[in-house]
Amino acid sequence: MTVPSQSSQSNFGSEVLNKIVERLQSTSDKKKRYEYVLWLAKKLPPMDKELQKEDVKVKGCISKVYVHGELMDGRLKWQGDSDALITKGLLALLIQGLNDLTPEQVIAIDPGFISATGLNSSLTPSRANGFMNILLTMKAQAQRLSIEGS
C-alpha cells in the first residue's frame, strides 16, 4: 500500500518518531521544544539499577547515560537513564521513538530526524553530540541483538 507523499509529513523510519518530530517542528519557540524534552525526561520510567552496567553506558557523553535494549517477540524494548535531566529527555525521546521496532527498523532509522526536530539550535554542541551517540548506541545494540537472535 502506498501512501501519497505529503511534503509536510516526516518519514524517519518510525511512526512514533515521525509524530515526535512533527510535534517539535510545530513550534518555532526554542523554549517550548526544550520544555517538551524535559517533560519527556520526567515521564521516562526508572531503569533497573542492575542493568546500569558499563556495556550499556553510552560512550562520548559528558553525562552518565545508560540504554538497554531487549528483544521480545522480534521487537525491541528499551530502558534507559541519565544523571542529567536534558539528556534523560533526549534519551526518552529516542526510547519512545524506537520502542517496539524490529532491530532492522532501528538500524535503518534516518539520523536526519535529529536536525529535523530543531533541537540542535537549543542544545550545546556536546549535548547534540550526546544525542547522536545515544542513537548510535541504540543502533549498535539493535545490530548485536539481530545477530544474536538469528
Q: List, by residue number, the catalytic residues.
A: 61
Query: What is the end-to-end Cα distance of the chain in Å, rounded?
Result: 28
Which grid coordinates belong to 27? 513550534
Helices (H), the chain: 15-25, 30-43, 85-98, 103-107, 113-116, 125-149
8 Å CB contact between 82 and 64:
yes
Q: Which of 78, 91, 124, 93 is nearest to 21 (CA)?
A: 93
